[in-house]
Chains A and B, each alone.
Chain A
Amino acid sequence: MSLHKDLLDQAGHLVKRERKRPKQASLRRAVSAAYYAVFHLLIDAASRFVVRGSNRAELRYAVTRAFDHGEMKSAANSFKGGTLPSTLQGATGGPIPPELRRLCETFIELQQARHEADYDLTREFTRREAQDLVTRAERAFQDWTAVSGTPSGDAFLVALLLRKKLDR
């Protein structure tokens, strides 16, 4: 099993812990795991898109280290709203599919929720909120499967790595 699938599984387990009174620790870790599940899903896909071949693991790992959470959010914003940089507009093969728009929206929500879960001690999570985020992360995996290998999907992977540079 891959890291991203394991993280998604872990999120699902954590959000169900302590049946009657879930601990903030469990809910916060569930939210964090849900974000990192989608994060690692996408950087794995993007690094494999950039570096092909079964014996290139070290080079792919080097590529994964180049991703920036903020730049990935910018890429997701572009694809969510359809306001692509001019350098990418011809590369998507048509309108952005709804699955990809929804994936981008989910990624942005999860990123913010992860920040709150990990750092904002004034913020209290309910199981309901955490479960909503975990469910949406699970669906993000399905949405990615729907667009993986399409021109829009490929353009999104490139944007995740190079969003700022694409504005030049």
Chain B
Amino acid sequence: MVGHAAIREQLAAHRDELPFPAAIAGWDVKVGRDATGDAAVWVWIVLHDDLVSQVWPLQTRDEMRDQVRDLVTHAAAPIEVQVYVRFRSESEHKGIVGEDWAG
């Protein structure tokens, strides 16, 4: 299965190449199998609450999503993975995973 740590390293290494990197508070990464049994990686891009609006235009989200997808695909190679990229604000994410989430 795809390495969780390798994916996080890839994202961290290329963070500054993403649109509005200052808006990114961090990410959460999950690896596993999706609903159809394909190897999959889920990335939640967590955005600082006061900077969400920078990333929120659909085109910006598309660019960020596409770049994250490419980074994860590269990190997972040669394993082919489905990559699911979602967005949350920091307060939303902490409300779900716990206040001690640190990015």
Bitwise, B78-93 to A at CB < 8 A (1) or not (0) is 0000101011110010
Q: Decide yes or no whether A26 CB sits under 8 A from chain B.
A: no
Q: Are B35 and A129 in contact (CB under 8 A)?
A: no
Given A70-B36, A111-B35, A112-B34, A132:B84 Cβ within 8 A: no
Q: Number of contacting residues on A, CB 8 A? A: 19
Bitwise, B50-61 to A at CB < 8 A (1) or not (0) is 001000001001
Residue of B nearest to A81 (CB): B80
Q: Decide yes or no whether A84 CB sits under 8 A from chain B.
A: no
Q: Decide yes or no whether B96 CB sits under 8 A from chain A.
A: yes
Q: How far is the CB of A14 from chain B (nearest CB, A)?
A: 18
Neighbouring A residues of B40 by C-beta, 8 Å:
112
Please report whether the interface of chain A is mostly helix, strand, loop or mixed according to DSSP: helix
- CA of A159 to CA of B63, assembled, Å: 28
Bitwise, B37-54 to A at CB < 8 A (1) or not (0) is 000100000000000100
Bitwise, A110-134 to B at CB < 8 A (1) or not (0) is 0111011000000010101100100
Q: Number of contacting residues on B, CB 8 A? A: 16
Question: B61: which of A112, A113, A132 is its contact (CB, 8 Å)?
Answer: A132
Given A128-B87, A129-B87, A112:B82 Cβ within 8 A: yes
Residue of B nearest to A102 (CB): B62
Q: Are B92 and A126 in contact (CB under 8 A)?
A: yes
Question: B92: which of A109, A128, A132, A139 is its contact (CB, 8 Å)?
Answer: A128
Bitwise, A59-70 to B at CB < 8 A (1) or not (0) is 000000000011
Q: Decide yes or no whether A150 CB sits under 8 A from chain B.
A: no
Q: Decide yes or no whether A163 CB sits under 8 A from chain B.
A: no
Q: Which residues in chain A, 87-112, are within 8 Å of chain B measured between CB atoms?
A: 102, 108-109, 111-112
Question: A108: which of B61, B82, B88 is its contact (CB, 8 Å)?
Answer: B82
- CA of A127 to CA of B33, assembled, Å: 25
Q: How far is the CB of A32 from chain B (nearest CB, A)?
A: 13
Q: Are A129 and B88 in contact (CB under 8 A)?
A: yes
Q: Are B35 and A115 in contact (CB under 8 A)?
A: yes
Q: Are B89 and A128 in contact (CB under 8 A)?
A: yes
Q: How far is the CB of B61 from chain A (nearest CB, A)?
A: 7
12 CB contacts below 8 A, A to B, read A69-B36, A73-B36, A112-B40, A112-B84, A126-B88, A126-B92, A128-B88, A128-B89, A129-B88, A132-B87, A135-B58, A136-B58
Listed in ascending order, the chain A residues whose CB lies under 8 Å from chain B are: 69-70, 73, 102, 108-109, 111-113, 115-116, 124, 126, 128-129, 132, 135-136, 139
